[in-house]
Structure 1
Amino acid sequence: MIKGIRPLLRGSTYSGMLFAYCGAVASLPLLPFALLPLAAWRSAPEGVQTALVLLFWAALIGVVGLARITRRALIASARRLLSVPLPDPVAVRRPANSGADRWRTPLWLLLHVVLGWTGALVSGVLFLSGLVLPGGWLGADVGLSLFGWSVRAEGGWQSWVVALGCLLLAATVCAVVTNVLRWLAPRLLGPSSAERLALAAERELQLAERNRLAHELHDSIGHTLTATTIQAAVAGEVLSADPMAARAALRSIEESARAALEDLDYVLGVLREEKAQTAPTRTLADLPELLDRLRHAGAVVEPELSGELARVQGTLSRAAYRILQEGLTNALRHGAGGPIGVRVAAAEDGLELSVVNRTEAGAGPRPGAFPTSGHGLPGLAERVRLLQGEIDAGPDGPQLWRLAVRLPVRWSA
């Protein structure tokens, strides 16, 4: 019993009924325009005239529902008064078969008005009946008469029972109208098929951008932490014997940390949806600086650069830098010392990158085995796959590890 009357005690039931009343009241300014056709049909029967007025009234309401601002207003008010989670409408190009979607808002507006008037009349009559039927408390014999239907109270406790029943029925009508509107709102005011596709595409772009930022942050911060850890150890060992080398290592730590902070500030700004700053760009032109930082960390780097690297620009150059950065970071972190070979070759048919370092026998994952998620090599594999390139990582002879990447190139004129 208590569960059955619980919806009648919720404030959202009556805010939803207020929403229905608003639909009924908002349709009143259109009623005088719906009466205009009667001027040409004065001789028509009364029933035909009533049908014409209702038909033109419904047509005018439907036309109002075609306006985009109407749909935005309805969605905003439904979210607030019906407590229905509706997304904001998305501007999309209407496909050829979007006629049904276009008429969803006019249909909603018509049903909104019909339910508003029905709920207002029925609940109003029941509520008024509940007030006037127990006429004894007014000291007079009172009754209710509406549209030829009349009820008169005869006093006694029976009239109070009937009055209470009328009030409960009025509240029930409010709950029914509110629930019907809540059921209709997602179906008629919710995203259309074209809007759902647009929302899915937008969400996919956001996820791709966040995934790219995660890769950028992992490459930058991971490399910086690895390099600075090694550089700090080198500075500590040579601090007394070679102060110049120690100062050089500390300067390299400062430069690495500053570059990583720029990347971090940019990524956090994007994730917080703040005003976008200029993205820190690291390209193949910054490769010599990266190799110098590795040398300050005590690594022996043997670069081999060939081809017209200056013609490699844009996304490809930035991706190549990050790939080499990740490969060199892994060589520092997991290598067994010795020289690190870095090869960058720009040819007419592609850009070849490779990093070769010494490693302990049997170390590293199985060649070609890249998980579908994670960081490090999986992140590299995903980055290369997005660029439609090829990647191979694994042992290369005794105690050697080789990362090889080949990326397609589109030369600029």
Structure 2
Amino acid sequence: MRPLPDRRARLRWVHLIIGGALLMPYFLVGTVIVGSYRPQADLFGSPANQLIAFAYALPMAAVTALLPLARPLSVAVARALCGLPPERPLADGPARSRQARLRSAAWFTLHVGLGGIVSGMTLALVPFAVAVMGLPLFAAVRDSPVLGLPEALDRPWALALAPFAGLAMLAALTGCAAAAGALLADRAPVLLGPTPDDRLAAAERRAAELAVRNRLARELHDSVGHALSAVTLQAGAARRVLDSDPEFVRAALTAIEETTRRTVGELDSVLGMLRKDDDGAPDGACGPGLDALEALLTHCGLPVDYAADGDPDTVPAVVSREAFRIVQEGLSNALRHGGRGEPVRLRITVGAGELAIVLDSPLTGRPAVVRPGGGLGLRGIAERAVLLGGRTEAGEHEDRWRLTARLPLPSPAQEQR
């Protein structure tokens, strides 16, 4: 009787009773099939006929459980009533693959099969056990033709043992229900757990979500980070010469105004990516491209020696946008870590099938200041290039820091596709 007060065992018993209720329509169809070739048979009074109808019911239940929506319904009931540990998760969503549908059908068949057996035992054995326990007290029970008890039970020793026999029947029923419930709970993660296809789909969803998060992080890092670096340095320089060089202060404030105004627009574009639905603008249309490079170089806070070989305006929008972000992050690194004695040299070459960016900045000769959470700029540049099929290099070159990015340009035929 120990499992009886256990809440988990009681919930599993209820789960089995639900399985028996779900089996009833299939069982009734099974009795109709048996009655079609045994017209004179006692369908509900004969245990043999009931077992045959039960055998017909299980395959029909298995076939209906092949529907994709059968799995989420079974999972919801199993989570609520089977008492599964959290480290054994069940699958989410309809069963899409053949393997998932077969597993769902196997689980549903096991559930209704065990549920039908336990439900039948509960309905038949509980009143019978109560009647047996009442034999010593009620003569009408002993004489009832419904129970059909043998005459030997009228003896005093048999009547004295009758209550214990009834309790033993209830204990056996409780043990059977607990064992059946434990079996269902043990098989639930196997039959209702995620299949390899489910795990692959979940991994793809996580990868897509991570890609979106990384993309937003790159956009915010390159646009807002560059603007804050430029504004901070220009404001600091203006503060130092506030009384001695008003013209420089005026130019610095103008650059700060233009930088913040441009960054607000870029921030709106980044935030718009969060609200964009499937019918929104393509990725390449979000954010500035190389056409905004002149404004960036004018107000970046550094002298830049810029030269272009080819026409950057002919670069496709997606490549142009990523190239702008690469240049922007390169200038941010030059602002934070580069020297101030020489201008930054920027070369953009639009060649046959490739866009090359070369950015040289002077070195200070001092170790770079390490910021908490910093150091992601070069990683973001490399990710942008890889997403387009390109590559990047960064490191010291002839006493300067050189950043090189090579981005492939699609052919006209590829652009049309």
Taking structure 2 as the reference length, the TM-score comes to: 0.78
Query: Which amino acid letter does the alignment assign opposite residue 346 of structure 1?
Result: V
Partner of 1:78: 78
Q: Cα–Cα, structure 1 residues 47 and 162, in superposed 2: closer, same or farther, change >3 Å?
A: closer
CA contact (8 A) 2:266 2:288 kept: no
Q: Which position in structure 2 is the counterpart of 1:405?
A: 405
Q: Which residue of 2 aligns with 1:313?
A: 316
Residue 195 of structure 1 deviates from its aligned partner by 2.6
Aligned residue for 1:67, secondary structure, equals coil
Aligned partner letter, 1:355: L
The whole-number CA distance in structure 2 between the counterparts of 1:276 and 1:230 is: 41
Specify the alignment match of 2:381 in structure 1.
380
Question: 2:107 is matched with which residue?
Answer: 108
Q: Is the 8 A contact 1:122 1:173 kept in 2?
A: no
Cα gap change, 1:169/1:234 in structure 2, threshold over 3 Å: closer, same or farther? farther
Per the alignment, residue 214 of structure 2 pairs with 211
Contact 1:352 1:405 in 2 (8 A): yes
Distance 2:311 2:253 in 1: 35
CA RMSD in angstroms, aligned pairs only? 3.9
Structure 1 residues 58-115: Cα deviation after superposition (integer angstroms, max 9, x where no partner): 22212211222222322222222225442322575x5xxx4x5432222211111111
Alpha-carbon shift at residue 281 of structure 1 (Å): 1.8
Q: Which runs of no fewer than 5 residues in structure 2 stay unpaired?
A: none
Distance 1:236 1:136, change over 3 A: farther
Q: Could you tell me how far apart the structure 2 residues matched to 1:328 and 1:145 are?
A: 99
The 3 A distance-change label for structure 1 pair 147 and 300 is farther
CA–CA distance in structure 2, aligned partners of residues 397 and 44 of structure 1: 103
User: Which of 350, 353, 356 does residue 352 from structure 1 map onto?
Assistant: 356
CA contact (8 A) 2:68 2:95 kept: no
State which of 6, 31, 38 in structure 1 corresponds to 2:27. Answer: 31
Instruction: Give runs of aligned pairs for residues 216-227 of structure 1, distance below 5 A.
Output: 216-227=219-230
Equivalent positions of 1:362-381 (< 5 A) are 375-381=376-382
Query: Amino acid of the residue matched to residue 404 of structure 1?
Result: T
Q: State how far apart, in whole Å, the 1-side matches of 2:52 and 2:163 are.
A: 43
SS at match of 2:411: coil
CA distance in 1, matches of 2:375, 2:173: 59
Alpha-carbon distance in 1 for matches of 2:113, 2:59: 13
| Aligned partner of 2:336 among 333, 348, 358 | 333
Query: Does 2:293 align with 1:290?
Result: no
* CA separation of 1:129 and 1:39: change in aligned 2, threshold 3 A: closer
Confirm or deny: 8 A CA contact 1:141 1:154 kept in the other structure.
no
Greater shift, 187-196 or 239-248, is seen at 239-248
For structure 1, which segment, 202-211 or 159-168, has the greater mean C-alpha deviation from structure 2 after superposition? 159-168
* Alignment TM-score, normalising by the size of structure 1: 0.78
CA distance in structure 2 between the partners assigned to 1:43 and 1:71 by the alignment: 38
What is the aligned length?
A: 389
How far apart are the structure 2 equivalents of 1:61 and 1:352?
Answer: 65
SS in 1 for 2:299: helix
Equivalence map 1:255-274=2 (5 Å) = 255-259=261-265, 261-262=267-268, 265-266=271-272, 269=274
Q: Percent sequence identity over matched residues?
A: 30
Going from structure 1 to structure 2, the CA distance change for 1:409 and 1:137 (only over 3 Å counts) comes to farther
| SS of equivalent to 2:186 | helix
Matched, 1:395 2:389: no
User: Higher mean Cα deviation, 196-205 or 279-288?
Assistant: 279-288
SS of the residue corresponding to residue 27 of structure 1 reads: helix
Change in Cα spacing, 1:169 to 1:13, as seen in structure 2 (3 Å) is: same
Shift of residue 354 of structure 1? 1.4
In 1, Cα distance between the equivalents of 2:80 and 2:63? 24
Structure 2: which amino acid aligns with 1:405? A
Letter in 2 for 1:252: E
Structure 1: runs of 5+ lacking an equivalent: 366-372
Which amino acid is 1:353 matched to? I
1:194 paired with 2:197, answer yes
